[in-house]
Structure 1
Amino acid sequence: GSLTGDRLARAYCSADVFVFPSLTDTFGLVLIEALACGVPVAAYPVPGPLDVIGAEGRGPAGDKSRLWPMCVGVLDADLARAIEGALRCDRMGAAVYGASFSWDAATEQFVSALGSVVAKRELLMA
């Protein structure tokens, strides 16, 4: 059945690995939920998982500022291999990385991006 709130968090926390077998997810919010509960992720290397944990399992490759020092998940075309790898990932690191997707963090990123746009516009207008 459906779980929400504390019951959902307890279910995530009871897992050793969050296995995400989808090949067609568009973002992967459930990956972030699992990570925030300290559960490493095993998934296929497709959009969604790639956007959240990246090919190396340490964050999206295009954003060096978000690269994590330790593995938080494993992506592999062989899901069994991904699970084996994810079992060796750091749970505390997964929790801290998952928390970096909070609304507060998203707001800070948005405000920072706006500041960059305003600064560039002011340079162009000068």
Structure 2
Amino acid sequence: MGSLVKLMECPKPVGLQEAATQAIVSVLTVRSNRKELVRDEKSVMRLVQMLDPKYEAVNKTFPVMVVAAVLSGGSNGCRKRLVAAGAYQHLQKLAEMEVAGAKKVLQRLAGNRLKSIFSRTWRE
């Protein structure tokens, strides 16, 4: 997992970041792989670093896709680790910049699922 996250940072050859992102997202469909990625502190820090709007080496949609895949399992531990690493602040900035998928990932990362379901129901 860590090597795939490293590949996401490599700007050359063209398309390597996208291929690495797709590979990570497909691997993260398995729950144990999501837990393994979140347990690896270096990978989480690299992923959060890639979410930083000041870090221009990576297209921001790629790390957002990976974070969405990590959060898709609904594990509270994964969410807490990402928030502790600082992903929430970066995702807020990306949502303001209107990066694709950042707003939805930010809502998932924000917390209480039951509260978000009720607030969505009341708005509609």
TM-score by length of 1: 0.34
Q: Which has the larger radius of gyration?
A: 1
With normalisation by structure 2, the TM-score equals: 0.34
**Normalized per residue, which structure has more helix?**
2
| Structure (1 or 2) with the greater strand fraction | 1
